[in-house]
Amino acid sequence: MQRILRKLALLTIIFLITFTLVASNGIAHHQTVIQTAQFNNCLNNAQCLVTPEPTTSPTPIAPFTPNPELNEQQRFLSAIAIKLPAIPQPGTYEYILLRKYGAVFVNQEPEIKLPEKVILANEQETQEFQSTLTMIKVDGTNDCYLQQAAGLALNKAKKIQKIPLKSGYGSGDCTRTFTTNLRFWQKYANDRTLEKVRQGKETAILGIVAPPGTSQHLWGLAIDLRVSSQKQRQALNQNGWFQTVESDIPHWTYLGLTESQLPLFGFQKKLVREITYWVTPI
Ligand SMILES: [Zn+2]
């Protein structure tokens, strides 16, 4: 009788183990099917590729650091690939813009938002992007707004040194609308200029004014300042603000990196008329 009972117990255990294995296999298979279906759905739906469902926290565990064994250009491109999903191809208008204004794409702070392309097509697209930003007011101004991390860093610099806006207090020095960007462009240039820029035949204008939809000011990460002393420059540099657009003297860009990190991210130091610019290596 005892032997029969032991056999029965053994059979029950074997049955339970087998059942558990089959069941868990079934669940795993079921999950794979759902994931494949979701993936196929994504392929057929462009929007899904643009905004994939977050499966993990968007905050990176450790900030990205370029591989020092790569050359300058590769280091820069590897860094911007994190925030810019489609890197423009050399020889295109977008590549010219990336070279001139793309410095901000190296920004490592997870709360800093950037558009997924270097040109915002119109006011609607600009507003859609800007509506996703968390903005704060720059201290001592009426209506000068920047993305929060950039604004906080600038306010820190302003506590060390007095740094006025180029115009005194105006919002035009800070985050701009598409229309303001367009108005500034039309002040200095026209459609013929734009055509020449597109063809790579005209670049000087890019240091004066940005073509429609391409200004760093649209992204809430640039500001025009009246800087005259080395101490002001130091205060800005110590807080992640640098001059990245050659010849645009009042224009400052928030990179959120320290000066010593810039060469590792591929930036080239360029001294023009006693002003240090950190330009992209592309
Ligand atoms: Zn500017």
Nearest to 111 by CA among 221, 195, 20: 221
118 and 27 in one domain?
no
Confidence band of 29 (pLDDT split at 50, 70, 90): very low
Same-domain check for residues 237 and 118: yes
Q: Who contacts 149 (Cβ-Cβ below 8 Å, separation ≥6)?
A: 109, 111, 112, 254, 256
- What percentage of residues in the chain have a pLDDT greater than 70? 78
- 211 and 99 inside one domain: yes
Cα 76 from Cα 79, distance rounded (Å): 5
3-state secondary structure of 279: strand
Is residue 60 in a domain?
Answer: no
SS3 for 166-234, per residue?
CCCCCHHHCCCCHHHHHHHHHHHCCHHHHHHHHCCCCCHHHHCCCCCCCCHHHHCCEEEECCCCHHHHH
- 226 and 91 in a single domain? The answer is yes
For 22-55, give the DSSP string: HHHHHHHHHHHHHHHHHHHHHHT-HHHHHSPPPS
Residue 170, judged by CB atoms within 10 A of its CB (0-12, 13-18, 19+), counts as middle
If asked whether residues 17 and 107 sit together in one domain, one would say no
Identify whether residues 14 and 85 lie together within a single domain: no
Distance 91 CA to ligand 1 centre (A): 25
Q: How far, in Å, is the centroid of ligand 1 from the Cα of 254?
A: 11
The CATH number of residue 201's host domain is 3.30.1380.10
Tokens of 92: 């295109």
Same domain, 108 and 160: yes
Tokens 């004014």, residue?
209
Ligand 1 centre to CA of 212 (Å) is 13
What pLDDT does 236 receive?
A: 98
The answer to whether position 67 is within a domain reads no
Q: With 0-12 CB in 10 A as exposed, 13-18 as middle and 19+ as buried, what is 178?
A: buried
Residues 80 and 120 reside in one and the same domain: yes
Print the domain residue range for 209.
72-279
Task: Report the pLDDT value the prediction gives residue 12, as an integer from 0 to 100.
Answer: 52
3 state DSSP class of 76: helix
- CB count, 10 Å around CB of 116? 11
pLDDT of residue 40 exceeding 50: no
pLDDT digits (tens, 9 = 90+) for 117-137: 999 999 999 999 999 999 999
Instruction: Report the pLDDT value the prediction gives residue 64, as an integer from 0 to 100.
Output: 87
Indicate whether 109 and 198 sit together in one domain. yes
Structure pTM?
0.78
Ligand 1 centroid distance, CA of 222 (Å): 6
**Centre of ligand 1 from the C-alpha of residue 248, in Å:** 7
- Give the residue-averaged pLDDT of 48-66: 54
Position 245 scores a pLDDT of 97
Per residue in 206-251, pLDDT (tens digit) is 999 999 999 999 999 999 999 999 999 999 999 999 999 999 999 9
Q: Above 70 in pLDDT, residue 51?
A: no
Q: What is the pLDDT of residues 142-198, one digit of tens each?
A: 899 999 999 999 999 999 999 999 987 678 899 999 999 999 999 999 999 999 999
Q: Are residues 30 and 164 in the same domain?
A: no
Does the pLDDT at position 26 exceed 80?
A: no
For ligand 1, the distance from its centroid to the CA atom of residue 74, given in whole angstroms, is 27
